[in-house]
Structure 1
């Protein structure tokens, strides 16, 4: 059995990747929306996004909308693949009781 992905397995990072994975490829979520979806604080969310970015699972796009800064987080192809493998492994564990 393959090991769970330690980067994605952490609960907040799993929620971040699940939210991003639900979007069409190439689309992302604005930081404030991701914060609301996950219930994380600014600092905690930022730290976990940084961990995902260092693993190349997400990209962070910073821009201005009018005069307001906006940070958008987008799952990369590598991140989408890692998330899909992680979910498949979790399903396998659930279906086989970990004996598969």
Structure 2
């Protein structure tokens, strides 16, 4: 019997409400522009920057700066490790809920 590829593991870093929402927003996409993510979450630039820095420092997210139409843009993506951590965290939350029923 093989081990699951993303074992359930509660992750304190991801569990913070804003970071959990960031990961949930990034998980289904390859990347998203900073402004789109900020608007979708309804938070200030500074709040998003602070939480993204923590995810980047943990190697859960990657930030890329690029130019488009002569303007500077920033896009954000989950790393492979970040996706694994997020999926494991969601699995752990589901397991907690299932054990309560």
Task: Give the TM-score, by structure 2 length.
Answer: 0.88
- Aligned equivalents of 2:9, 2:84: Cα separation in 1: 15
- Aligned equivalents of 2:73, 2:9: Cα separation in 1: 36
Question: 6, 14, 22: which is aligned to 1:8?
Answer: 14
* Structure 2 unmatched ranges of 5 or more: 1-7
* Structure 1 unmatched ranges of 5 or more: none
- Aligned equivalents of 1:16, 1:40: Cα separation in 2: 11
- The alignment partner of 1:18 has SS state of helix
CA displacement 1:33-69 (0-9 Å, x = unmatched): 1001111100000010010000000000001112211
Task: Give the TM-score, by structure 1 length.
Answer: 0.89
Per chain length, whose mean CA-contact separation is higher, i.e. which structure has more relative contact order (CA < 8 Å, sep 6+)?
A: 2
Higher mean alpha-carbon deviation, 52-61 vs 65-74, is at 65-74
After the TM superposition, which segments of 4 or more aligned residues of structure 1 sit over 4 Å from their partners? none
- Aligned-residue offset at 1:4: 2.1
CA RMSD of aligned residues (A): 1.4
CA displacement 1:69-92 (0-9 Å, x = unmatched): 100001100000000000000000
Matched, 1:70 2:73: yes
Equivalent pairs counted in the alignment come to 94
